[in-house]
Structure 1
Amino acid sequence: MNVTIQAIHFDAKAELNEFIQKKVAKLEQYSDEITNVDIAMKVIKPETSENKEVLMKVAVPNNELVVTKVADSFEEAFANAMDAMIIQIKKTKEKARS
């Protein structure tokens, strides 16, 4: 599983990258068919609250799952994106079985 983390228009701290790497590794327990995980983080409208956006793309055979979440912090947005992605992975797995 290849993981790409991209910080758009800001420098991500090492702690944030480590947090994301650790959480993304847990996706393998939901599907062993994941080939790529792309994460893009950016700040939108810097003067407002809830201005951190995380876009997460997960490539599985014959499909690409995409989730976008916005929150006050990148950690919160990423955690919300992970929760939504896990649901999508489970649904995709169920469809493949039936």
Structure 2
Amino acid sequence: MKITVQSFGLTPHPPLEEHIQKKVNKLETFYDRIQFCRVLLKLENTADKENKTAELILDIPGDDIVVKKTTLSFEESIDVCVDVAKKLLIKKKETV
């Protein structure tokens, strides 16, 4: 699976990129037909402390799985996105 990270309004530091790679690569254990993964990081313009948005787009045959979450940190947003994507991939695998 190829992983691409795009960020808007920030430059991700190497530990964040390693965290993304580690978490997203685990998704292949749940569904082995993922072709491509895009991770979009965005800093929202709000006064709220929960302003770090991560969006995970998984390209799989027949569908795309899109998960978007906003939390206090990018690491937490990625973790939540991966958890939701994992559940969706398991559900997808059961229907195939």
Q: Same fold (TM over 0.5)?
A: yes
Query: How far off is 1:80 after superposition?
Result: 0.4
Query: Where does structure 1 lack aligned partners over 5 or more consecutive residues?
Result: none
Residue in structure 2 matched with residue 63 of structure 1 by the alignment: 63
* Superposition RMSD in Å: 0.9
Q: Can you list the C-alpha shifts for 1:19-72, whole angstroms capped at 9, x where unaligned? A: 100111111110110000000000002532100000100011111000000000
Please list every run of at least 4 consecutive aligned residues from structure 1 whose deviation after the TM superposition is greater than 4 angstroms: none
* Alignment map for 1:1-98 (pairs within 5 Å): 1-96=1-96
Match of 2:25, SS state, is: helix
> C-alpha distance in 2, partners of 1:77/1:23?
11
Percent of residue pairs bearing the same amino acid type? 32
Aligned residues: 96
Query: Where does structure 2 lack aligned partners over 5 or more consecutive residues?
Result: none
